[in-house]
Amino acid sequence: MSKGTRDDMSGPIALGANRPLFLTGADASWFVVRGVVELFAVGGADEADTPRLHVGTVVEGQTLYGLDEALAPSFRLVAVGGAGSAVTPSPLAGAGDHRRRAEWLIDLAVAITVENDPFAVDTSVGEPSPADAIPEAALSRALADRRARLAAADIARVRLQRDAHEGAMAEALDRLTAITDPDERRTTGSRPGESAVLSAFRVVARALGVTVPAAMPPTRGGDPVDAVARASRVRVRRVLLTDDWWQNGAGPLLGFLDDGHRPIALIPKRSGRYQLVDPSEGTRTLVDARIAAQIERGAVSIYRPLPDGPLGIGGLVRSALALSRPEMVRLFAFALGSAILALAVPIVTGRIVGSVIPESNRPELLQLTIALLVATLAGALLQLSTAIAVLRIQGTVDAYLSPALWDRLLSLPTTFFSRYSAGDLAYRVQSGVAIVKLISGSAVTSVLGGLFSIVSLALIWFYSIEFGVIATILTAVLVLVIYLAGRVQLRRMREVEEESGKMSGMLLEFVSGVSTLRVAGAQEKAFQRWAARFADRRERWNAVRDAQDVTAVVAAIFPIVASIVLFAVIGLSADPTVSPGVFLAISAAFGQVVAAVLAMAGAATQFIFTLPGLQRALPILTATPEDDDQKADPGTLRGAVEFSGISFRYSEDGPLVLDDVSIRVPAGGSIALVGPSGSGKSTLGRLLLGFEQPEEGGVFFDDQDLAGLDVRAVRRQLGVVLQAVQLLPGSILTNIVGDSIDLSVDDAWRAATEAGMADDLRAMPMGIHTAVTEGGSTLSGGQKQRLLIARALAGNPRILLFDEATSALDNTTQAIVAESLAALSATRIVIAHRLSTVVSADCIYYLERGRVVESGTFDELMALDGKFAAQARRQLS
């Protein structure tokens, strides 16, 4: 708003909520002498015709201007003052005042037009031009457009509320239906007005235990499947349905019928075959060859994520086994059945030796033999069923947990990755998968067998209390020895895992930087570091093996020692009830107990080997993911960016890297951040991307605080080139478009042209499909930078952030890139030292020690002859 000083024509006029001031009269103005005044637009001659529309704020020292009512009959401006506010009337005196009035009205119209909407709506609004002949007309048009956008936003909000209400009601009805018919809940038809993709996605998600949004999220011109997946916080993968795919269930899939690309759900049955669920028709059909021929070959596999929030070991195991509850119940039943059938051996042995043989009872011997054979056969079938159940559980756990852990890792904030090397993180993830597979597989079987060995121990107590006590003591001694050896192994294995993680990270660094090692002649130094690390790890591993050998020796000699003790007890026992048959039954039962305990010891050893790895995976599980369902969708960004009062330090006791920095970039504008190294330029870029959180102040996109926004949705609308970013192994095409299905080869060529790389690509034998090695060692430094710029431009981002993105380009190529960027409507934020990179910026901010010390256009800063000018002259000289 205009600032100035006016001669008082009368005393100050106090304003308040109950004393509004209508700004009328083309020759009238009011100077704000105290407080803050809020500006509102109201319709017609009567304030009650329309609700007030806030259009701006005027503070002390600024001027308000009146409207020509004849030129603006459709609205009026009203000023409402805060507590203690006052204005002084001051008629316009000359052409200069009238020119300032016209500029004020035009500025007000522009501010109204670019003001952020609370909801993203598909309304295109043009900005008023300062060349408009009548300022009141420009303001009138801006207000009309603003009201239209707000009305559209209200309609969109009502629709969202209605869809959410209908979705919640349908979900409640589905849950009630599931009480009496669980299958019916998964085959409900689509809800009224619901997208076909969302309906089919919902059916697949329910089979996986995933919650999807009640209403269809905005697609913004992209794939609706990806939009639903992002809103559901799940990852998806496109798969190809090969021959006879319907006969081997590989998890729920989202498919499409050839008839109009209609979305369907493909849900595996217990038999392994797929069932087609069509929400549009409300039907379910078992898939056979005829039905499969009507389904497109392309489908979508959905990956169930880990639960939100920090997760412990117990939570990880429960989450991994949640999809295998039926198999776990069967596994428990099989193990219990095996334990009960195992009692047949000692019981029949005691019966045969105790009565059948002394009495030469051949018919009973035949019967007992047949019973023992039947029990053995049944036990073998139960063991086979147990093995199949274990394989099913391990397959389900592996298919779920591996991608879920990688998804959790990729969802963590960037500050997490600064604490670990890439190799160490990969080792931690795989350790977590391995231990859960172990827990869900053979370890569970062994533990269950050990627990059910209590049945055999109970049989010994049934035969003889004396032998029951002896057997219990011997079992306790065996368990104690195994426990003590296990503690030693666990302590040493933690040290081994720690060294293994460090070695993985170190080896990855050596392999990635082998060319650097050769240039520096540091191969021997690298080998020395590896050898020292390897020797430490081997020493700890030998200690683990020593403890394992103790367990193995105990397992070998314990049955012999236990048999000696039992024979000694029977020889010294005065219990007349312990006949030879009963003793052999007790001996057989105790052998089963020992075998079960040793099996548990083997499982415990495996558990010990992997438990430290799982504990090393805990930081990944306990860290809070970056995603937050409570964060708002930013909508389609227009490109306005603001750093407001930013203060930041990298550690609590560290110095301020940024100190009260405030920078505003209008939508479509361009700024440059310059200054010496360490001044905080790149830190502002990290704050813009949500990599760091400010200590004070905030980062705003279209007046929306980034702290309250879905940061992933914001990043998807940004094009970024940071320092030291590496190319990915693959092709030039994949490096430009990534895995986006919304970008085509044409988009890649367009981006390459804008980045000044099209001629280079045409000169390559394979063109845009040329292979790129990891790090892009086959490309020059300038080509790598241009390829990274092309990647940033491919998605037509609303905001571009370039951090030293053109430092390796020659002047000709940089001119091409600068011309391409100037033709874009995107907001541009450039961090650079190179003078030619920043000369065309709308505003240049010179930072020093975390503060903005100079700002202005290139010409203004050169005229100021300050620190920026000194730096510029050093480059020009």
Mapped onto helix, strand or coil, the DSSP state of residue 266 is strand
| Block residue for tokens 């009973």 | 364
Q: What integer pLDDT is reported at residue 126 of this predicted model?
A: 38
Give the list of residues 6+ apart from residue 179 with CB closer than 8 angstroms, or none.
none
Q: Which has the closest alpha carbon to 615: 505, 501, 484? A: 501
Domain with CATH 3.90.70.10 in the chain: 186-303
Q: Which fold has domain 641-876?
A: Rossmann fold (3.40.50)
Confirm if 711 and 763 have CB atoms less than 8 A apart: no
Q: Sorting pLDDT into bands at 50, 70 and 90, what band is 129?
A: very low
Indicate the DSSP class of residue 355: I
More confident residue, 163 or 3: 163
Residue 464 has what pLDDT?
79
Q: Architecture of 313-622 per CATH? A: Up-down Bundle (1.20)
DSSP secondary structure string, 279-331? Answer: TTTTEEEE--HHHHTTB-SEEEEEEPPPPSS---HHHHHHHHHGGGHHHHHHH
Q: Comparing 441 with 102, which gets the higher pLDDT?
A: 102
The band of 44, judged by pLDDT with boundaries at 50, 70 and 90, is low
Go through the chain and tell me how many residues it has: 877
pLDDT tops 60 at residue 211 = yes
The residue among 611 and 68 whose pLDDT is bigger is: 68
- Which of these, 443, 240, 208, lies nearest to 305 by C-alpha position? 208
CA-CA-CA-CA torsion sign (76, 82, 88, 90): negative
Rounded Cα–Cα distance for residues 810 and 780 (Å): 12
CA dihedral 682, 688, 689, 690 (to 10 degrees): 110
Residue 748: pLDDT over 80: yes
Task: Provide mean pLDDT across the span 790-814.
Answer: 82
Question: How many whole angstroms separate alpha carbon 62 and alpha carbon 56?
Answer: 12
The Cα 242–Cα 419 span in angstroms is 43
Residue of 793, 733, 791, 792 lying closest to 761 (CA atoms): 733
Q: Which phi and psi (to 5°) does residue 132 adopt?
A: -55, 135
Pair 646, 658: CB distance under 8 Å:
yes
Mean pLDDT, residues 565-569 taken together: 80
* pLDDT beyond 70 at 224: yes
| Tens-place pLDDT, residues 160-209 | 666 666 656 666 666 565 555 544 444 444 555 457 888 888 888 888 87
pLDDT at 728: 80
**Is residue 659 within 8 Å of 851, Cβ to Cβ?**
yes
**Residue 132 — very low, low, confident or very high, per pLDDT cuts 50/70/90?**
very low
**Statement: residue 23 has pLDDT above 60:** yes
| Predicted pLDDT at 194 | 59
**d(C-alpha 632, C-alpha 711), whole Å:** 9
Q: Which residue has the tokens 């591996």?
A: 402
- pLDDT at 4 exceeding the cut of 60: no
* pLDDT value of residue 463: 78
Q: Are 716 and 635 in contact (CB under 8 A)?
A: no
Average the pLDDT over each of 98-112, 477-491, 718-732 and give the range with the smallest value: 98-112
Homologous superfamily (CATH) for 186-303: Cysteine proteinases (3.90.70.10)
Question: How high is the pLDDT of residue 526?
Answer: 84
Give the model confidence (pLDDT) of 318-367 as tens digits.
777 777 777 778 877 887 777 777 777 777 777 777 777 777 778 877 88
Residue with tokens 């600068």: 818
For residue 42, count other CB atoms closer than 10 A to its CB: 19
Is pLDDT of 473 > 80?
Answer: yes
Q: How far apart are CA 119 and CA 153, in angstroms?
A: 6
Question: Rounded mean pLDDT of the chain?
Answer: 77
Region of residue 857 (phi > 0: left; psi between -120 and 50: alpha; otherwise: beta): beta
Q: Is-contact 206 185, C-beta < 8 A?
A: yes
CA-to-CA dists, residue 565 to 246, 569, 592, angstroms? 60, 6, 16
Which contiguous run of DSSP H or E holds residue 155?
A: helix 135-180
Q: Is 107 exposed, middle or buried (0-12, 13-18, 19+ CB in 10 A)?
A: middle
More confident residue, 424 or 296: 296
Q: Please give the torsion angle defined by the CA atoms of residues 444, 447, 452 and 456, in that order, rounded to the nearest 10 degrees.
A: 140
Stretch 278-282: mean pLDDT, rounded?
A: 81
| Distance of alpha carbon 570 from alpha carbon 564, whole angstroms | 10
CATH 3.40.50.300 domain range(s) in the chain: 641-876
Tokens of 202: 């919902």
Residue 3 clears pLDDT 60, i.e. is over it: no
Buried b (16+ CB within 10 A) or exposed e, 362-392: eeeeeebeeebeebeeebeebbebbeebbeb
- Reported confidence tier of residue 290, pLDDT bands at 50, 70, 90: confident
Higher-confidence position of 328 and 752:
752
* Longest CA–CA separation in the chain, Å: 135
Residue 3 neighbours by CB distance under 10 Å: 11
Question: Of 249-263, 576-590, 721-735, 831-845, which gets the smallest average pLDDT?
Answer: 576-590
pLDDT class of 131 with cuts at 50, 70, 90: very low
Q: What is the pLDDT of residue 177?
A: 57
Give the 3-state DSSP-derived string for 40-68, with helices as H, strands as E and coil as C.
EEEECCCHHHCCCEEEEEEECCEEEECEC
Q: Residue 219 — very low, low, confident or very high, per pLDDT cuts 50/70/90? A: low
Instruction: Check residue 117 and give its pLDDT.
Output: 38
Residue with the larger pLDDT of the pair 294 and 808: 294
Question: Binning pLDDT at 50, 70 and 90, where does residue 116 land?
Answer: very low
pLDDT at 115 over 60: no
| Whether residue 714 has pLDDT greater than 80 | yes
